[in-house]
Chain A
């Protein structure tokens, strides 16, 4: 009986001491945390993807509370999070349209001639570093899916040799754009659906030799455009999103059908 009593007493005493110690140190060593930092952190999505450039959501919340980062710094939370955080910080978020990743290549296995001799690790970055011949087109998608691997939302899949973005799932973190060794992926506003889906800057005949879906630089689209939104960057058509009125006439005339008009 005695030992039970002693044990209970000792553990009770230890428990009280430990509890009191924790409360005491908690009070004594309390670090003043900015209330706004906690509130901002609650509004962030908590993916900890690092797309904002900070170490994680906690780090971004601290930076926003200090005023070092803009309230719309989180690309994943988008306009909703930016507005909520703007309320907390007392600033307006500003217009911010959702952006989605866009792969500027249409070279599926049917339209390109793949005569590559690359047999190494199936990873785009490694493949490019090896300097071997992977696809005949030196600009297009390699199709090993490094972008799909880094995507935190599994929004990218490789279909028929080309990366395809699921626009609904995309959270516009931009990790895929950073990963693609050929720089094919960019983040574009969701409503800008008219894009040139090719990145090949070679001259027309060379493009035609390697891919039947590439931009050959014929210039027909420029003649069709009523708002002068299409410019040529060398032999590659570029659409200026600010001038484009989304009429789609360029896409109708494009002989290679490389201008896309519907969201993929």
Chain B
């Protein structure tokens, strides 16, 4: 069993091994939904919500069903299945019980179902041999890291939009360059946690 302390896990997943800028997971929504600050904050909220629940359920499922039965090789498929269904159920539940939260998260909940970062964190947790509490902490940390990255990029993009850029750089190219520079900047956290 891995004996990392929870604070180390949070810092490690949120900053050092940032899911977007260091592991390059969830790039599609990172680039797609970062046009507006408001939307990116909503998406970040939805990711924190879904990733926490997904990593908790995936951890339980692995510890009590997959590992005892020796079905380690099926974990990817089963995680996909369970996470997708889980998000659907959570969405229905929210729609009925808490319309205000549902409105705030809006269309981002079903979008996240297919976000590779969510599946990625569940699989990484299992690989690292985390226990239940560590899994949940790692889920929260990763999601916070994702939110930090997407909100930062949204801020940068809103400033880029005001600038008079050379024509070939307008649109996607400058966003790629900005994301690459952010990724390099995040390498500065490298020595914090092993």
Contact = CB atoms under 8 A, between A and B. Distances in A.
B164 interface: yes
Interface of B: 65, 69-71, 74, 77-78, 81-82, 85, 88-89, 92-93, 95-97, 162, 164
Contacts, number: 45
Contact of A120 (B69, B78, B164): B164
Interface residues of A, number: 18
A121 B74 CA distance: 56
A10 B164 contact: no
Nearest to A21: B89
A29 B93 contact: yes
A25 interface: yes
Given A21-B89, A26-B92, A29-B93, 8 more contacts: A3-B71, A10-B65, A11-B78, A11-B81, A14-B65, A25-B89, A121-B164, A122-B164
Nearest to B69: A6
Given A29-B92, A29-B97, A11 B74 contact: yes
Contact of A14 (B78, B89, B97): B78
A18 B85 contact: yes
Given A29-B93, A120-B164, A121-B164, A21 B85 contact: yes
B105 to A, nearest CB: 15
Interface majority SS on B: helix, strand, loop or mixed?
helix
A22 interface: yes
7 closest A-B pairs by beta carbon, nearest first, are: A29-B96, A18-B85, A29-B92, A25-B89, A25-B92, A121-B164, A31-B95
Contact of A6 (B71, B82, B88, B95): B71
A120 B162 CA distance: 11
B71 A10 contact: yes
Given A7-B71, A21-B89, A29-B92, A14 B164 contact: no
Contacts of B78: 11, 14
5 contacts: A3-B70, A10-B71, A11-B81, A120-B164, A122-B164
A77 B110 CA distance: 29
A31 B89 CA distance: 13
A15 interface: yes
Nearest to B164: A121
Interface string A22-43: 1001100111000000000000
A15 B78 CA distance: 9
A122 B170 CA distance: 14
